[in-house]
Copies of this chain bind each other. A is one copy, B any other.
Amino acid sequence: MMAMCTALSAQKNFTLNDLLGGGNNAHNLRPESIYTVWWGNTALQTTPDGVKNLLTGETVVSVEQVNKWVPEHIAVSGHYFAFPYADEPIVQVMKGNRRVLVNFKTGEVVMDCTLPRDAGNSDFNSVSKFTAFTIQGNLYVSDAKGNQQQISKDGSTDGSDNIVYGTSVHRDEFGITKGTFWSPDGQQLAFYRMDQSMVPSYPQVDIFPRISQTYTDHYPMAGETSHQVKVGIYNVNTKKTVWLDLEGAPDDYHTNISWAPDGKTIYVFELNRDQNDMRLVAYSAETGKSLHTVLQECDPKYVEPMNGLEFLPWDASKAVMQSQRDGYNHLYLLDLKTDKLTQITKGNWVVQEFVGFNTKDKTLIYKGNESDPRRSCLYSISIKGGKSTLIGAEDGVHYASLSADGQQVLDQYTSPTVPRSINLLSTKTGKGKNLLTAADRWVEQGYNIPEITSGSIKAADGVTDLYYRMVKPVDFDPSKKYPTVIYVYGGPHAHNVEASWHWGLRGWEAYMATKGYLLFILDNRGSEWRGKDFEQATFRQLGEIEMQDQMEGVKYLKSLPYVDADRMGVHGWSFGGFMTTNLMCSYPDVFKVGVAGGPVIDWKYYEVMYGERYMDTPQTNPEGYAKCSLVSKAKNLKGRLQIIYGYNDPTCVPQHTLSFINACIDANTQPDLFTYPGEGHNMRGIKQVHLHERITRYFEDHLK
């Protein structure tokens, strides 16, 4: 399989400031766009001046008008306007911690509420107009007028760094992104309480005060004591909290909290610490008592509940849920009266996202990759399953936003040849109106653009298809031999090769192509969008299968006459930093130069949630941890390897990199090193440019 998008005209070369998100010229090279928002079933377009009807162009509400109605010029740009009420002419405007709702027909200020300056994690319920928020570990709610209540734990107010209320828990794994969950009517608030007092703090150092200081960062390492999470339900009327009578061990995982539409029952996906036994449990919101176990899902490797229940708007006794129990992530209909689960979508492909309901036609809208594993296209399907209907283009990677009734969708996508396309489509017919097809600004501005292709090779198992992206040097001459750099991630829940613009090209790859390198990016087994077996192949031995597949990529590269097998490099970040370091140490005669960013070095230094899912614990899988540790491979290093890490990386803590450096010193091998003080797992903003200049220089120094 092969596609191509290329332009050979040559005037000017890219700089990193052109190509990287943090670069100071990046904004001039992004494809044209329009910005949209739904008001119920009306599609609106936002502009700096306000909001207009997308189809008619008629002004709906202007910034100027809002600022006349609301004191202190709260509105800055129409891009920040929202329309939380489908049936009411109310615009929401935010400024800092102030939330204002204005009726834009009458000018009436419906709500004007300012939270305390240090409030975080604010969670607004549009029905009750209550807002939940946290301050330093404690949880509060505010009514529309700003009257605040502190949510107490049986009367105490023990929020702190050790005991944290109302925030995301379990280190954002299992689909968790927040810590408060309003009942549909906004009268009850489910929330997390995390006790991490028993979890050691990783000693992070802040170098910016007059004298460096440590700060607390509880980090549960694989096999070590983990934090303990409870779920409470606060009733804003009674001002009482009940605690869910959670079963299982104190360090189990509680995720995907979903309210029944009537607000009487709450559903929690509960997973044991070993992550191979998941139960969906229904609790009484009034008493906190467990009502019954709706379903259980076990797996010899691991179960991954990532999404909550989505109740049918027309039948509160049924919900859509996602599971990869048949080997691929699919949609299921769950009957909560009978606990019966009926599969809706099916096939050797995955549902990437449940988008929503078309309430009139009683269909589901989702994104899936049935037409090509690299794609993410939009479909509708009947609640009963059967044949799906394509919505919009059968190509590319789509982002979708549904109207209130789900009859229309604002569909934005890019494909290998399309920088951006925005369409307003019917979810029933899949057809509609093109709103924007953006021009290619790289071409318009006369840049030297490398040839970017995608194709597939077989995995090391000889059977499985793996997809790659290849970026050829600008002014490519097939009779020459080029230094070649593999960019790699390779870990779960991610992919690098997709049918988006330029096959998902990263800006740095174009920069390297400009400098005369060939780039190769292969999604090995273990990565996402390919089903459970594909992703779970790496269980208990992270890095092993992944490297075997990457070496198939090397084999393919060596078969190409224009690849210089004596000048092969590798670069990756995070899991890709692990892969890079691993490849440099495992195949020291293949890779001459590597740059590893924020790497995992030994999975025992990684956290409990992600780490134990794939590796179990150091206690139960000692041979796996030993085999996959790069500490013992440090002695094999021959080529030039630079490791770069954020000095304050809270994800792959510095102990990883420093342990490897120490092992190299002991073994008398010579890696190189760099760190970004104050930075975390990834560099932000303009530092991306510094970082990639650094990465590039290393290849220029040693691979060219």
Contact = CB atoms under 8 A, between A and B. Distances in A.
Contact of A668 (B200, B219, B690): B690
A658 B208 CA distance: 9
Contacts of A224: 210-211
B701 A675 contact: no
B675 A674 contact: no
**Which of A207, A210, A213, A655 has the most chain B CB atoms closer than 10 A to its own CB?**
A207
A670 B693 contact: yes
**Which of A203, A210, A211, A647 has the most chain B CB atoms closer than 10 A to its own CB?**
A211
A255 to B, nearest CB: 25
A665 interface: yes
B214 A219 contact: no
A214 B687 CA distance: 28
A44 interface: no
B205 A211 contact: no
A689 interface: yes
Contacts of A221: 210-211
Contact of A661 (B200, B214, B604, B677): B677
B212 A202 contact: yes
Interface string A628-663: 000000000000000000010000011100110110
Contacts of A653: 212
A211 B219 contact: yes
Given A665-B690, A689-B668, A690-B668, A207 B659 contact: yes
Contacts of A211: 200, 202, 219, 221, 224, 655
Contacts of A654: 207, 212
Interface string A195-230: 000001011010100111110000101001000000
Given A674-B673, A676-B665, A214 B212 contact: no
A458 interface: no
Number of copies: 2
B690 A658 contact: no
Interface string A470-496: 000000000000000000000000000
Contact of A701 (B210, B212, B701): B701
A422 B184 CA distance: 93
A694 B677 contact: no
B674 A207 contact: no
A12 interface: no
Given A661-B675, A665-B690, A213 B207 contact: no
Nearest to A642: B672
Interface string A682-702: 000001011001100100010
B670 A673 contact: no
B655 A207 contact: yes
Contacts of A659: 207, 677
A678 interface: yes
Interface string A605-647: 0000000000000000000000000000000000000000001
Contact of A203 (B213, B674, B693): B213
A387 B37 CA distance: 98
A442 to B, nearest CB: 24
Given A202-B212, A211-B221, A211-B655, A687 B665 contact: yes
Nearest to A668: B690
Contacts of A665: 676-677, 687, 690
A214 B654 CA distance: 13
A592 to B, nearest CB: 14
B205 A205 contact: yes
A697 B673 contact: no
B690 A662 contact: no
Interface in A25-63: none
Given A658-B677, A673-B673, 7 more contacts: A202-B212, A207-B659, A210-B221, A212-B653, A214-B214, A673-B675, A701-B701
Interface of A: 200, 202-203, 205, 207, 210-214, 219, 221, 224, 604, 647, 653-655, 658-659, 661-662, 665, 668, 670, 672-678, 687, 689-690, 693-694, 697, 701
**Nearest 8 Cβ contacts at the A-B interface:** A203-B214, A662-B677, A658-B677, A207-B658, A212-B655, A203-B205, A673-B674, A200-B211
16 contacts: A202-B211, A202-B212, A203-B203, A205-B205, A207-B654, A207-B662, A211-B655, A647-B658, A659-B677, A661-B676, A662-B677, A665-B677, A668-B693, A670-B697, A672-B672, A673-B675
